[in-house]
Amino acid sequence: MAERLLMMALSPTMSEGTIVKWKVAEGSAFAAGSVLCEVETDKASMDYEATKDAVLLKILLPEGGKASVGDPIAVIGKAGEDPGPLAAAAPGIASRPPAAAAPGPVPVLPRAPSFAPEPSAPIAPPRVPTAAAEGMKRPSAPSSFPPSSPLARALARELGVDLRSARGSGPGGRVVERDVRALAELGPQAARGAAAATGPRATAPDQAADRRVPVTGKRAVIARRLSESFFVAPHYYLKRRVDAGPVMALRATANAGRQKPISLNAFLIKLSAEAIVRHPYVNSTWEGATILERSSIDIGLAVDLPDGLITPVVRDCARKGVAAIDEELSALIAKARERGLAPSEYEGPGFTISNLGSFGVEEFTAIINPPGSAILALGAAVAEPFVRDDGTVGVRRAMALTLGCDHRVIDGAAGARFLATLVSLIEEPGKALL
Amino acid sequence: MPEREYDVVIIGAGPGGYVCAIRAAQLGLSVAVVEKEAPGGVCLNIGCIPSKALIHQASLFTEGRAALESAGAKVDLAGFDYGKPWKQSRDAADRLSKGVRFLLKKNKIDYVEGSARLDGPRKVEVSAAAGPAGQSRSEPVSLAAKAVVVATGSRPKELPGFAFDEKMILSSTGFLLSRDLPKRLAILGAGAIGMETAYIAGAFGVETTVVELMDRILPIEDEESAALVASAFAKRGAKLLTGIAAQGFSKKGEGLELRLKAKDGTESSLAADRLLVSVGRSPNTGGLGLEEAGVRLEKGFVAVGDYQESSVSGIYAIGDIVATPLLAHVASKEGEIAAERIAQTLKGAPPPNERGVDPLRVPSAVYCEPELGSFGLAEAKAKAEGRTVGTARFPYVGVGKAVAIGSPGGQAKILYDPRTRAILGATIVGAGATELVHELLLAARSELLLDDVADMIHAHPTLSELIMEGARAGLGRAIHI
């Protein structure tokens, strides 16, 4: 009998996909294993392979159309069968096809239909503007993928591993088989994708009050990258309290008369960049056999969004003024809130700042954001008594700085030297001009 | 005794030692290499090189004769003298040995003649080398070293009851150094050396019989491929007796009579004029002071960890004295790795790209007719481990060039992973096999897939098309079959 063909997760982090091209025409038969269509995922174009022999009765999602994992994209069945009701009815749990036909790694939960085709017009409009889909039609890996061997790519697909989080240990930093295998072992989450596709499914959601929520692509990426960082990079932390008064005063002066005030974060990014200029080893990446010393000081700032954290990156901060950094930062944050960032806007920071001061957190430790080797956690600036050099007691606005370092790259004393410079720049921002 | 100081002292100037020496010199280390015989070791002097020269001569001899006869010419073999091709093999060996001497000199490496012995981990004592007529050719010398590389190679393994006299009972050395051929040659052991010698002897008209204890020839190679080699030998009239043990021999007239025993207990005898014993090689690890210096041996081989370093820090071992395949190219690679590691330790040079030799990425070559070239996972081993592998085959007869040059026999066999289509191993039997195998090895090492090899355009007509078609066969789309 006819059944719906669902968008399946072609990679573990894929939450939705865009049909680039249908390879089978309506009314045509196809065999198990043949390619039905080409799907653009969050990372690459992938082939959607048939899991059984059947006939493509009706295409529900045309080329350029986007669907979430679990949404129907076509109706398949026997030759001559009427796709009618299936092509029209809204997808729901009652009509969910058997597991074998929907080999997605995430349980298909009841979800509001993302589009509700009318019986007379079963072809849904694409959810993304055509121009955007056109722009995504690059046939192979986007440039943010590291160089990799063909076997590494085949294996990554097989094991459901995200190549972008692999560190290449092959010639010229190429990702090779062992890197993919290491990554698959590291994150069961990552390795599970393909295997779970045919494995046991979660219990039906109405059986208990507990709820299993499918992991979104973004959440999976956060989980994997931070687990990898935390379990692989030997972290240690250095704490200093700094008098934030001078930099806050400077900010107040700079903002006087400005329509749009410059954020404190922009000042701290700039001062961190200046400290990195004086200690360039902080801005580097452990690569196994080599350490990459970055030429550009690219600093990420952790930003809280409803669907999880994102770290927009301001490039080349050493060469930019505080105002330029602030402008770029606020544009990136606005874009992240509205439509999400392109990989080039959040990938590859050499240093990251996380500021939880606005939540009242006084001090905390953060997990290093790869590929950087250090992260600066900023607490709230709070008034506290302190003893001046002359022995008298005063009040200052103190802020806790906690620097998390990857010991493979930055030794304790080296981290401490960097932190000392940063403290002195924050307390005497004028020094940054020197 | 004079004492000199070096960064590295290498014992043995074979394909492991001299390559290690040159690489170390390239990296700015001061190097001495000690050799008691000729530079180039077994490989250049009494192994690979002279045997390949003889095999080439043998092949020209048979093919030239066959070509002339098939063109209707009458060939008169009167005046044939094996001493002439033999002389060419010696000339090739001498020339290359001189070449090694030149390379060492060019790289400012001190070549020290004599026998070396470790005196602790940082000192090598070299005794005087004997020159012609027993005269001392060099003075004893003591060499202090920051690192020592032991590369003393191996020698033919002796079989109990068949001690080498190099007159009647020959090692491969004895065979390669004798300027005449017997009428009848018996060979014990059907490994690469046995089969190559059988080919040379057979081509020059010697009645040749190979006796092998195992059930088949070339026991370490793919069974199906070895069978193709065996049938080619059988067609030429060579006798291959497999599954048969040699019990002993007795002298009979000018020759000898071998006593043989089959697995089922049947006894027989074999008459021959000379006997070649080619049942493997033994590592030269004795008399070097290795154990006294604290170096751990395992079954006669030096135990090494990463970067060829032995159990004693600063003492490295490479080549046939290490339990990796006893092949010249393995020794050379290990020499490079050791040299780069020493330069890293002493001078902060970049580390070697690899920690050691991966046996699955070592090519193996047998230069008889037909040639056999192979590497990687063996089908039998994969099966024994219950591993699912795909097997692709393509015959030479489907390759235009092979038919054109009259070599349509043989095949390429590729083992691959059916899920990823990664190339796991290959065995090629036929014309040019020992060269052709490298394309597949490069592909496997670079982690290319069958698709990459199948989709690469290969010039037509070439033998290399065999590789492309073999890869296509694995994808179910070979054209010329």
For residue A174, the chain B residue with the least C-alpha distance is B446
A123: pLDDT confidence band, cut at 50, 70 and 90?
very low
Distance from CA of A161 to the nearest CA of B (A): 14
Note the pLDDT of residue A206: 42
Tokens coding A426: 């924050």
pLDDT digits (tens, 9 = 90+) for A381-411: 999 999 988 999 999 999 999 999 999 999 9
pLDDT digits (tens, 9 = 90+) for A286-298: 988 889 999 999 9
How many Cβ contacts (< 8 angstroms) between chains A and B? Answer: 28
Note the pLDDT of residue A194: 37
Is-contact B446 A149, C-beta < 8 A? yes
* End-to-end C-alpha distance for chain B, whole angstroms: 71
Average pLDDT over residues B97-114: 96
CATH number at residue B460: 3.30.390.30
Provide, as residue numbers in chain B, all residues whose Cβ is less than 8 Å from the Cβ of A161: none
Least confident among A239-243, A254-258, B357-361? A254-258
Note the pLDDT of residue B130: 66
Q: Among B340, B416, B420, pick the best mutation site for testing chain A contact (most A Cβ within 10 A).
A: B420
Q: Does B63 touch chain A (CB under 8 A)?
A: no
- What is the amino acid identity at position B302? V
Q: Please check whether residues B104 and B19 belong to one and the same domain.
A: yes
pLDDT digits (tens, 9 = 90+) for A81-110: 887 777 764 443 333 333 343 343 433 333
For residue A169, the chain B residue with the least C-alpha distance is B353
A144: pLDDT confidence band, cut at 50, 70 and 90?
low
Least confident among A204-218, A239-253, B111-125, B178-192? A204-218
Q: Is residue B62 part of a domain?
A: no
Q: Among B340, B447, B475, pick the best mutation site for testing chain A contact (most A Cβ within 10 A).
A: B447
A187: pLDDT confidence band, cut at 50, 70 and 90?
low
Tokens coding A115: 């589009």
pLDDT digits (tens, 9 = 90+) for A320-346: 999 999 999 999 999 888 878 888 888
Question: Which of A102-116, A162-176, B271-285 reaches the highest mean pLDDT?
Answer: B271-285
Q: Tell me the residues of A at the B interface, defined by beta carbons under 8 Å apart.
A: 149-152, 154-155, 158, 170-171, 176-177, 289
Q: Please check whether residues B192 and B227 belong to one and the same domain.
A: yes
Catalytic residue, chosen from A53, A304, A307, A411, is: A411
Q: Please check whether residues B435 and B451 belong to one and the same domain.
A: yes
Q: Please check whether residues B193 and B297 belong to one and the same domain.
A: no
The distance of Cα B162 from the centroid of its chain, to the nearest Å, equals 23
DSSP conformation class of B282: E
Q: Cβ of B254: how many Cβ atoms within 10 Å?
A: 10
- B438 labelled catalytic: no
Note the pLDDT of residue A195: 37
Q: Is residue B76 part of a domain?
A: no
CATH number at residue A217: 4.10.320.10
pLDDT digits (tens, 9 = 90+) for B26-54: 999 999 999 999 999 999 999 999 999 99
Q: Please check whether residues A184 and A166 belong to one and the same domain.
A: yes
The C-alpha angle A135, A136, A139, rounded to 5 degrees, equals 115
Q: Please check whether residues A11 and A98 belong to one and the same domain.
A: yes
Q: Please check whether residues B8 and B148 belong to one and the same domain.
A: yes
- Of A186, A183, A190, A189, the C-alpha closest to A152 is A183
- Interface touch A150/B452, C-beta < 8 Å: yes
Provide, as residue numbers in chain B, all residues whose Cβ is less than 8 Å from the Cβ of A154: 420-422, 449
Does pLDDT of B154 surpass 70?
A: yes
The C-alpha angle B321, B325, B328, rounded to 5 degrees, equals 75
Note the pLDDT of residue B136: 59
Q: Please check whether residues B256 and B239 belong to one and the same domain.
A: yes
Q: Among A151, A155, A157, pick the best mutation site for testing chain B contact (most B Cβ within 10 A).
A: A151
Least confident among A183-187, B6-10, B95-99, B239-243? A183-187
Residue where one domain finishes, among candidates B227, B261, B279: B279
Does pLDDT of A198 surpass 60?
A: no
Q: Please check whether residues A220 and A239 belong to one and the same domain.
A: no
Q: Is residue B68 part of a domain?
A: no
Average pLDDT over residues A122-137: 39
Laid out side by side, the sheet with A16-22 consists of A45-49, A35-40, A16-22, A66-68
Helical (H) or strand (E) element with B315: strand B315-317
Of A149, A158, A289, the CB nearest to B447: A149
| DSSP per position, A188-224 | HHHHHHHHHHHSPPPPPGGGSS----PPPHHHHHHHH
Q: By percentage, how much of chain A surpasses pLDDT 70?
A: 80
Of B351, B419, B448, the CB nearest to A150: B448
B144: pLDDT confidence band, cut at 50, 70 and 90?
very high
Higher pLDDT, A206 or B418: B418
CATH number at residue A283: 3.30.559.10
Note the pLDDT of residue A12: 67
Note the pLDDT of residue A68: 84
Q: Please check whether residues B288 and B433 belong to one and the same domain.
A: no
Higher pLDDT, B372 or A346: B372
Note the pLDDT of residue A9: 78
Note the pLDDT of residue B369: 92
Provide, as residue numbers in chain B, all residues whose Cβ is less than 8 Å from the Cβ of A158: 419-420
Does pLDDT of A17 surpass 60?
A: yes
Q: Please check whether residues B274 and B293 belong to one and the same domain.
A: no
Q: Could you list the residue range(s) of the whole structural domain that residue B304 is in?
A: 3-45+87-155+282-347
Does pLDDT of A185 surpass 70?
A: yes
A189: pLDDT confidence band, cut at 50, 70 and 90?
low
Q: Is residue B275 part of a domain?
A: yes
For residue A290, the chain B residue with the least C-alpha distance is B350
- Interface touch A177/B351, C-beta < 8 Å: no
Q: Is residue B61 part of a domain?
A: no
Residues 6+ apart with CB under 8 A from B91: none
Note the pLDDT of residue A141: 41
Average pLDDT over residues B284-288: 95
Q: Could you list the residue range(s) of the whole structural domain that residue A162 is in?
A: 144-201+213-232
pLDDT digits (tens, 9 = 90+) for A46-64: 888 888 888 888 888 888 8
Q: Is residue A60 part of a domain?
A: yes
Residues 6+ apart with CB under 8 A from B105: B111
pLDDT digits (tens, 9 = 90+) for A302-320: 998 887 889 999 999 999 9
Does pLDDT of B15 surpass 90?
A: yes
CATH number at residue B149: 3.50.50.60
- Interface touch A151/B353, C-beta < 8 Å: no
Q: Does B351 touch chain A (CB under 8 A)?
A: yes
Q: Please check whether residues A274 and A294 belong to one and the same domain.
A: yes
Average pLDDT over residues B253-277: 95
Provide, as residue numbers in chain A, all residues whose Cβ is less than 8 Å from the Cβ of B448: 149-151
Catalytic residue, chosen from B329, B458, B460, B480, is: B460
